[in-house]
Each structure stands twice: as C-alpha cells, then as structure tokens.
C-alpha cells in the first residue's frame, strides 16, 4: 500500500514534519520552563539562584521570539504541543520544591534539576538545528544556534550556583580544580 501522507508531496516532507513536531514541543517546553523558573526564584533561598532563574526566564522569552522567527523563515506553524517526557522533567522541579520546601537542600536540588532541563533543551535545539541544516534553512539554523549556546552558558552558571551552595567558596579549589574560576566568572558577568 502506498503512503499517502501529505508530506510525501514536498521535498524533505518527512523531515519538515519531524522538525515541526520538535519546534512545537520545544515551544511548549519553553513556556512551561519559564513558569518553573519563576516558581524556583520565588522559593530560592540563595540570591545567586534567584537571580539566575529570573535572568534565564527573560532569556527564554527572547529564545521563543527566535522560534517565531524560525517559523516565519521555514513556514512551520507554531502551536505549543505537550511532550510527556519533557513534562516529567518539569514535574521533577515541582516535586523537589514541595518535598524540600524551606530546607537547605532545596536550592541545590532545584539548581541541579534546572541544569538537567537546560541540557535537555540544548539537545532538542541541537536536533532541530541539524534538521534545519539538512533542509538548507541556513538562517533559521544560525538563529537557533544562538539559543543552543545560551543554554550551554546557563548550564555552566547553574553548576557554579550549585557548587556555591554545596561547598564554601574557600574549599572549592580543594574539591574540584578550576571551579573557582567558573564561580568567579559567574559573579563577574
């Protein structure tokens, strides 16, 4: 039986469909992650975590504007679509906030969970960049490459926040060589 899916009629139709799905799922994920970051910043005890979450929520709003630009360049219609796997990741943060509320461990747990989310977002964006490149949407590819790089930097900043919370700053060089420079750079930026 011949496949009669509409994507068969356009060049790279299946890849276009996969890219569309991923973009709509990452849009949903980004919308939800902003809410999570706002919840973390309200409950965070440490100012470094609170500041990073507030800044990252603003950055994600800019990243979603890039998604809209990619939509215009590619003709992919954006409509947020839930991804159950990504929803589980987001639920981890809500569970941590509820479980560790008011405890010293809260900042560290949510920092590490937010760091995991940044890594997943970076992986998704990397996939979409690859798909766009294969379909020769070079401008869209470059636009999302900026988001991918921002997520790498956010991951680094969150790791610095986690180390500050876990280990007093004067002990960091003894525990992990090179982290002090990352921590100092975070606070300098």
Give pLDDT tens digits for 92-126. Answer: 877 877 776 665 667 777 777 888 888 888 999 99
Angle, in degrees to the nearest 10, between helices 138-166 and 105-134: 160
Q: What is the dihedral of CA 69, 72, 77, 82, to 10 degrees?
A: -10
pLDDT at 73 over 70: yes
* pLDDT on residue 128: 93
Q: d(Cα 176, Cα 35) in Å, to the nearest integer?
A: 33
The pLDDT tens digits of the residues spanning 154-176 come to: 888 888 777 765 555 555 444 44
Those residues with Cβ within 8 angstroms of residue 171's Cβ, 6 or more apart along the chain or in another chain: none
Query: What kind of fold does domain 9-151 have according to CATH?
Result: Ferritin (1.20.1260)
pLDDT band, very low/low/confident/very high, at 187 (cuts 50, 70, 90): low
Alpha helices in the chain (DSSP H): 13-43, 47-74, 84-99, 105-134, 138-166, 172-175, 179-188
Low-confidence winner among 67-76, 85-94, 102-111 (lowest mean pLDDT): 102-111
Each domain of the chain, given as residue ranges in start order, spans 9-151
Contact 31, 81 (CB under 8 A): no
Q: DSSP states of 107-146 as a string?
A: HHHHHHHHHHHHHHHHHHHHHHHHHHHHTT-HHHHHHHHH
Percent of all residues in the chain with a pLDDT value above 70, rounded to a whole number: 77
pLDDT band, very low/low/confident/very high, at 185 (cuts 50, 70, 90): low
The pLDDT tens digits of the residues spanning 124-155 come to: 999 999 999 999 999 999 999 999 899 888 88
pLDDT at 181 over 70: no
125-130 contacts: CB < 8 A, separation 24 or more? 125/26, 125/151, 127/22, 128/19, 128/22, 128/23, 128/26
């Amino acid at each position: 039986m011949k496949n009669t899916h509409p994507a068969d009629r356009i060049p790279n139709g299946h890849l276009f469909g996969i890219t569309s799905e991923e973009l709509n799922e990452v849009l949903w994920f980004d919308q939800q992650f902003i809410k999570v970051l706002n919840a973390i910043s309200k409950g965070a005890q440490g100012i470094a975590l609170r500041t990073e979450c507030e800044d990252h929520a603003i950055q994600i709003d800019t990243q979603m504007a890039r998604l809209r630009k990619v939509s215009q360049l590619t003709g992919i219609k954006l409509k947020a679509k839930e991804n159950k796997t990504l929803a589980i990741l987001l639920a981890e943060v809500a569970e941590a906030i509820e479980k560790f509320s008011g405890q010293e461990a809260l900042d560290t747990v949510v920092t590490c969970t937010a760091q995991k989310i940044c890594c997943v977002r970076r992986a998704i964006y990397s996939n979409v960049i690859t798909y766009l490149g294969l379909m020769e949407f070079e401008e869209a590819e470059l636009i999302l490459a900026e988001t991918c790089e921002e997520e790498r930097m956010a991951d680094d900043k969150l790791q610095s926040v986690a180390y500050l919370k876990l280990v007093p700053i004067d002990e960091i060089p003894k525990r992990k060589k090179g982290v002090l420079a990352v921590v100092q750079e975070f606070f300098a930026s």
